[in-house]
Amino acid sequence: MPQTSNCTPSWLRGFLMFACAISACMAATTEPYSFANQEARLEQALAEQPNMGHAKNIILFIGDGMGVSTITASRILEGQQHGDTGEENYLSWEAFPNTAMIKVYNSNQQTPDSAGTMSAIMTGHKTKAGTLGYDDKVVRGAHDSGEDFGGSARKVETLLERFEKEGRSTGIVSTARITHATPAACYSHSPERDWEQDADVRTNHKDATNAGFKDIALQLIEFPYGDGLEVALGGGRLGFIPNTQPDYENPSAKGKRQDERNLINEWLTKPKSSFVYDKQGFELVDPTQTKKLLGLFQDSHMQYEVDRTKPIYPEEPSLTEMGLKALEILRQNGKGFFLMIESGRIDHAHHAGNAYRALNETIELSNAVRAVRESLTEQELKETLIIVTADHSHTFTIAGYPTRGNPILGLVVNNDKQGKPEKSPAKDALGLPYTTLGYVNGGGYTGPMVNIKTQEISNGGQHFHEKAGGPLSFLSKEWKYIHVPREARPDLTEVDVECEHFIQEAAIPLGSETHGGEDVVVYATGPMAHLFRGVQEQNYIYQVMRYASEEKHF
């Protein structure tokens, strides 16, 4: 690649990288999209035979917030990280032979939340936003709306509970708190997703506490089916320790539990159980000697993948490493297992309007899918249904008319009338350059803001990095949008729009970018994966998993 100085604008650095990549691609004998290559793919598809066998094992990968645009942009970014133009790249699961489109609305909400969507996947019942493991008669935040407390809503069985009842092993892995909506939907039942630990319930719903309603962390530890989960790896330590005890890694932080219980110690009363809180302890775990593994690697959510290995953060395992360790423990059970692996922070980065981290989280999920699948034996591959999907999407867009190989995180560079790349970025109707990636709403709105403490007014996107509370924080409470005439968009010519802290522009001002309501994709391989086709409701995913895993059908 040509040498560039540190002062070279990001669009020019990217353009030079793109020029090298596309030259290399054109020098290849055939393009990935060539007639011959696609003819070969047809032959491959014609030879594909469905696996009609029994799924002894199920591995469910969830990219939280991983809509189609996120997959596309991540595919391109990964390819460009490898020195290619990017568009021809494939993420690991895109080689799976079976796909379907999935409708993600909640029973009461057009654009969904993660609790209702993951409950649909895990129980087969569409339900209300913000609720876990109940049918749609549940009232959010009302513990007494369930039949076990006198209401009409039913608790509905999760697939993980079904596996435990059958004597199979179960596990959850997440880069979010393990009591967060997606992992919680695997093992808990709650009319409120925010009841992650008892302080949440005691503070806001004393009646539920007085009635003996269990918070989500407690439900994990006191899981009543089978012998309980074998593996739980992720973040969220403070929800498991009392408010009188300092955190394991951060002594200035105290636990959140007000019931004086230490749930980690209670986990350790189980036979052959272990608890780890850092990568060193994690690596010392012997999967053949450990029956129960609890790993809580952060007081709240785990670090983003691009931050995880930075010296300023305590070491923690990657999503790939956690998935492989969980698999090693669960596969000890000859009856089979269910494993859910979530890349939870794709969603968080999108809420913050930060495409850089969202896409790199997706790439790490692709790494995890590849590594876990490659670690399966030939026999395990025949007996394991592997599913990759999302709970919902985001308002994340890929737009403009950038030339092929243009840096996906960069400014748009168009083609000229001869179809060749222009030598400078495209301009909008105001004469200003713009990025390929953006959001419909969120904290990247470039209109005026006022700091309620200092009365400082920020105009034209100065808050892209630090002004709104620092990288990846939702809009700081110190800053408020103000309704005055908006100045022109910021001039991004000299802005490093490809850096890790850049917040993409948003059309509508919100403190936190929202979910999107369009369909997501499910990708599948293994026993009964061919049942994923067409356009399906989200709770159909459960029906396929249930059917494939029931031995009576085979």
DSSP 37: H
Q: What are phi and psi of 517, to 5 degrees?
A: -105, 0
Give the residue from 532, 531, 522, 542 showing the smallest Cα distance to 93.
522
DSSP per-residue codes, 480-509 = EE--S---PPP--TTS-TTSTTPPPPEEEE
Question: Which residues are paired to 369 by β-bridges?
Answer: none
Q: In the structure encoding, which two tokens stand for residue 36, read together?
A: 């011959």
Contact of 158 with 185, CB cutoff 8 Å: yes
Question: Which residues are paired to 506 by β-bridges?
Answer: 439, 445
Return d(Cα 178, Cα 322) in angstroms, integer.
13
- Find the catalytic residue in 10, 69, 74, 114: 114
Return d(Cα 510, Cα 474) in angstroms, integer.
9
Give the residue from 217, 173, 161 showing the smallest Cα distance to 193.
217
DSSP E strands in 289-343: the ranges are 292-296, 337-343
Known active-site residue 188: no
Contact of 106 with 125, CB cutoff 8 Å: no
User: Beta strand 396-398 with 273-276: parallel, antiparallel or unpaired?
Assistant: unpaired
Alpha helices in 109-249 (DSSP H): 114-123, 159-165, 181-187, 198-204, 206-210, 216-221
Contacts of 269 (CB under 8 A, 6+ apart): none
Give the residue from 199, 203, 204 showing the smallest Cα distance to 261.
199
Q: What are phi and psi of 410, to 5 degrees?
A: -95, -170
Give the residue from 408, 422, 410 showing the smallest Cα distance to 10.
410
Residues serving a catalytic function are: 114
